[in-house]
């Protein structure tokens, strides 16, 4: 999904922080050691394809407003390519950020649209249901 006009990563680097990147032996949680330099990446020209190709949902989804940019709301949204789950991964420093009203409203809407919605907070995963209930997900 291409970025929609008016949206850009800007100072956000949530995908370089919270996601696991097996190609770099980077675990989920800590910053990628390459977070620095031009465009926020010290190896920008040699970054792996997974970095070149990744775009979070916020970039391409018009309904996600400016306050839901991942670094501002503390949650990154994406569709897991292996499970097709709609994932909301909170920054380790804000593990319950997915419960913020605007974020949670979006997650419930995605569940109502038929997605399996999973919010990850540290090592814990929660399933978000279309009726607004949420609970542990294994
Ligand atoms: S999380 Fe989204 S908005 Fe933030 S840097 Fe990554 S792709 Fe860009
Ligand atoms: S290699 Fe660069 S683009 Fe990829 S996660 Fe690390 S800092 Fe981000």
3-class DSSP assignment, residue 79:
strand
Q: How far is the CA of 10 from the centre of ligand 1 (A)?
A: 8
- Strand ranges inside the chain, DSSP E: 75-79, 86-90, 117-121, 124-128, 134-136
Reply yes or no on whether the pLDDT at 2 is more than 80.
no
* pTM for this model (two decimals): 0.93
First to last CA, the chain: 29
Helices assigned H by DSSP within the chain = 14-18, 49-53, 57-60, 70-73, 101-112
pLDDT at residue 103 in the model: 98
In this structure, the residue with its CA closest to atom 2 of ligand 2 is 41
pLDDT at residue 38 in the model: 64
Reply yes or no on whether the pLDDT at 1 is more than 80.
no
**What are the tokens at 118?**
């999973």
Interval 59-95: pLDDT, tens = 999 899 999 999 999 999 999 999 999 999 999 999 9
pLDDT at residue 57 in the model: 97
Q: How far is the CA of 11 from the centre of ligand 1 (A)?
A: 9
């Amino acid at each position: 999904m291409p970025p929609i006009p008016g949206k850009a990563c800007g100072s956000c680097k949530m995908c370089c922080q919270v996601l696991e990147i097996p190609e770099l032996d980077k675990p989920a949680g800590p910053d990628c050691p390459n977070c620095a330099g031009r465009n926020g990446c010290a190896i920008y020209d040699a970054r792996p394809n997974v970095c070149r190709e990744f775009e979070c949902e916020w970039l391409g989804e018009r309904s996600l407003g400016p306050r839901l940019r991942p670094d501002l709301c503390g949650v990154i949204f994406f569709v897991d390519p292996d499970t097709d789950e709609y994932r909301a991964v909170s920054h380790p420093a804000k593990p319950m950020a997915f419960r913020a009203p605007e974020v949670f409203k979006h997650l419930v809407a995605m569940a109502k649209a038929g997605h399996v919605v999973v919010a990850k907070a540290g090592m814990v995963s929660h399933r978000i249901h279309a009726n607004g209930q949420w609970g542990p997900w294994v």
